Each structure stands twice: as structure tokens, then as C-alpha cells.
Amino acid sequence: MSADLADLPPVSAADYIAAIAQHVSSVCVITTAWEGERFGLTATAVASVSATPARLLVCVNKSGQSHDKILRAGRFCVNVLTERQDQVALAFAGMAGVADKFAVGEWTELETGAPALVDAAACFDCRLASLSDHSTHSVLFGDVVATRHMAGEDALLYGVRRFRQLRKVFSGIAGDDEYL
């Protein structure tokens, strides 16, 4: 990096938050199990890393209770919510006033034992491969050991500080099942 670029200060937190709020993402619930208890959080910072090996990443706030439980358990499940599962998202964000987050929705397990939402649009059951520390968050890289999905279900979206639904569908790429 050139000296000139290194001297550029980052934007303020307020400017960053106002701009990133325009970014629309699918809503996921990240879950784990540790010592007989289940933990989870709502997240939108989830992305595919590679198909070979099957790996994804999740950004998790270090101050949340689930962060340390995921690290200790060494496993997590990314549950991609459907448009009808906003109440699940709210529960796992601590905004639904329920004592047991897992009372909202029906839960099962795939390979790792991390909780998987039965009617999620997709579930990615992961073994924790590595993590990268970034200020307030950890970027968790998960090797996907099992998946499940429900074809035809649109994911719940979040952007401009509210839940959203997919309203327009544009023509896809021929053979789009082959692309990630």
C-alpha cells in the first residue's frame, strides 16, 4: 500500500452505518450446541468462500453469548430463513421477548449436532475450520459437512433497517445450478 493510501483515515462509524444499511442481505440464524445447551444469533454477514472445499464465512460479534459457545463447540449451523420466518429472526436477535429462542420454529440436527431449523430455506452444517479476529467481530470460517434446502423458498432479506421480500425475479443464467 502506498504511503498516501495508508494515511487516509477511515470514515466515521456513523457514516459507515448509514451507508452499509443500504446493503441488502439474506437473514440467517447461526446456531450451535455446547454442553447440552443450544445457542444462536441472527446474522446477515454470511458469505460463500468456496465450493471445493465447501466453505463459508460468518461474522459474529465477540460480545454476544453465542460467540464463545461456537468457538468452544467447534461447530455451527447457518440457517437461511424464509420470507415467513421473521419471528425466528426477531427471537434470535433478542427482540421477540421470548425466554427460549428455540421455542420459535421447529429444530432438528444434521451431522454436527448444531441445531438446524426444519423449514429453513437452506441449512449449512459446519465444522469450525478457522477464525480471523477483526475488532469487535470474529470472522468464522466453516467447512460445510452437511446441507439441506427447500427449493422454491425465497430467503428473508434485511436492508435499510427492515425485513424485506424479494419482489422481482429477473431471468437467470442458463444452467444457473452450476454457478455459485
Q: Can you give the CATH number for the domain in which 152 is found?
A: 2.30.110.10
- Tell me whether residue 92 is in a domain: yes
- Tell me whether residue 2 is in a domain: no
- Tell me whether residue 152 is in a domain: yes
The 10s digit of each residue's pLDDT in 149-168 is 999 899 999 998 888 988 77
Q: CA-CA distances (angstroms) from residue 47 to 54, 78, 121, 142? A: 12, 10, 15, 11
- Tell me whether residue 41 is in a domain: yes
- Tell me whether residue 171 is in a domain: no
Q: How far apart are the first and last CA of the chain?
A: 31
Rounded CA separation 163/160 (Å): 8
Please count the structural domains in the chain: 1
Model pTM above 0.85? yes
What residues make up the domain containing 114? 25-156
The 10s digit of each residue's pLDDT in 72-89 is 999 999 999 999 999 999
Kindly report the CA angle at 69 between 66 and 127, in degrees rounded to 5? 105
